[in-house]
A and B are shown apart, each in its own frame.
Chain A
Amino acid sequence: MDSLKEDLKKQIIEQLNLEDLTVADIADDALLFNDQGLGLDSIDALELIVLLEKYHGIQLTNPEEGKEAFKSIDTMAAYIRKRKAA
């Protein structure tokens, strides 16, 4: 299993206070801001921005980048890898 994705799931559960969820409940490709996925909203987007900085040292300042990066665990992991490689 991809450890970055696993870590991201744990961090989302922690940061968003989703204690009832487990890592296994979150699919890598589940849409985070869709009612069929995790059903996150704009408040949670703020939490995800904080999460990126807190755990990965990445500052996200461009809202358009966030829109793409926060689609799913897959896209978040890809975004983190891209930023760290730059």
Chain B
Amino acid sequence: MKVITAYCNLRAGECLVNGEVVARRDTGSEDSWFKQIYKQHELAYPKFYKMDVLSQAGYLASELIKRANPGISEVYADDEIALVFANASSSAETDRRFIQSYQGGGSPSPSLFVYTLPNIVLGEIAILNKWYGENMFAVLPKFVPGFYLDYSRILLASGSRALLCGWLEVTAGSTDVFLFMVEEKEKGTEFNEENLLHLSQTGAVAAY
């Protein structure tokens, strides 16, 4: 049975892993919300500071999922974990910042330019974990569970054994991040449309 073995919800004010709050935003802090999570969880990956907000969100959620599901990298070969992400706004936030870098007389910023594609976050996660499996980033109007279910069938039938999936919508006005790990197991939260929708909205499954 395909089950969701770990998941992370990252919103504007709180971060949950498997339905448990693991960080709350300190609105009085000078640090950004994502930096607060990075520091609170004592993550150590200086490249985090270079990433755009989309990659920071993907990095944080994937690291917290790995902590909740230790040993994931040892269980599977490096090409057996696929990444399937999506969002609605692509890399619009960074695109805007890149435009601002050269409008008004400045010069285009190479360090911003490299993040002007949404799938860069997949590369960041793949490079960090040395996961060389399939990956794709779709831009969809909204979170659609069927997209992950359909695409996972194709991937699991063609060599992938585990999937790290995610909805990664980070804009200036909102943070809506939901990452989840799908594996073949005897027990767990079944990987189906109803559970995905519920977990994406509430961060908890009422009943298995």
A contact residues vs B (CB 8 Å cutoff): 15-21, 25, 35-40, 43-44, 46-47, 50
Complex CA distance for A36 and B35, rounded to whole angstroms: 17
Q: Is B49 an interface residue (CB 8 A)?
A: yes
Query: Which of B49, B97, B107, B110 contacts A43, CB < 8 Å?
Result: B110
Q: Which of B78-128 contact A (CB under 8 A)?
A: 97, 101, 107, 109-112, 114
Tier of interface size on chain B = 10 to 19
24 A-B residue pairs with CB within 8 Å: A15-B109, A15-B111, A16-B111, A17-B50, A17-B97, A17-B109, A17-B111, A18-B49, A19-B32, A20-B32, A20-B35, A35-B46, A38-B46, A38-B49, A38-B50, A39-B46, A39-B50, A40-B50, A43-B111, A44-B50, A46-B110, A47-B110, A47-B111, A50-B107
In the docked arrangement, what's the CA distance between A18 and B51, Å? 8
Q: Provided the pairs A43-B111, A44-B111 are in contact, do residues A16 and B50 lie with their beta carbons within 8 angstroms?
A: yes
List, in ascending order, chain A residues with CB within 8 A of B109's CB: 15, 17, 47
Judged by DSSP, the binding face of A is loop
Residues of B contacting A: mostly: helix
Shortest beta-carbon distance from B50 to chain A in Å: 6
B109 nearest CB neighbor, chain A only: A17
Complex alpha-carbon distance, A6 and B49, angstroms? 19
Q: How far is the CA of A25 from the CA of B46 in the complex (A)?
A: 10
How far apart are the CA atoms of A36 and B107 in the complex, in Å?
29
B111 close to A20 (CB less than 8 A): no
